[in-house]
A = this chain, B = another copy of it.
Amino acid sequence: MGITKSEEFTAQQNEVAAIAKALGHPARVAIMQFLMGVDSCICGDIVNELPLAQPTISQHLKELKNAGLIQGSVEGNAICYCVNHETINRFLGVVTLFQSKKKFKSACC
């Protein structure tokens, strides 16, 4: 079908999946790393940094924004993007728990 049965899962599972999905493209990982590295939250320099056309970058930024991973603010005729720490923290919190709390290894693995 190509359609996810979202309603069958919890809100947290859907949110974590949405964030992970947004990070599930190397260009978007590169954008996050770029935003981390620059001192001010530089805007369209991302387009110059990445090997993709401007509309493609714009689309990737939109997806990161929809997932709550970044936010943008208008600066003159440019737009300034930066990382949204709360979202990343929430995501890290859940993924960290994937490290099971078992003290002993299971029999099989």
Residues of B contacting A9 with CB < 8 Å?
A: 26-27, 29-30
Contact A98 B26 (CB under 8 A): no
Known A8-B51, A51-B8, A109-B41; contact A99-B85, beta-carbon cutoff 8 A: yes
Copies in the complex: 2
Instruction: Say how far A72's CB is from chain B's closest CB, in angstroms.
Output: 8
Query: How many of chain A's residues touch chain B, expressed as a range?
Result: 35 or more
Contact B82 A88 (CB under 8 A): no
Instruction: Say how far A65's CB is from chain B's closest CB, in angstroms.
Output: 12
Q: A21-B25, A24-B24, A82-B109 are in contact. List 4 more A-B contacts (CB 8 A).
A: A13-B33, A17-B28, A73-B108, A80-B109
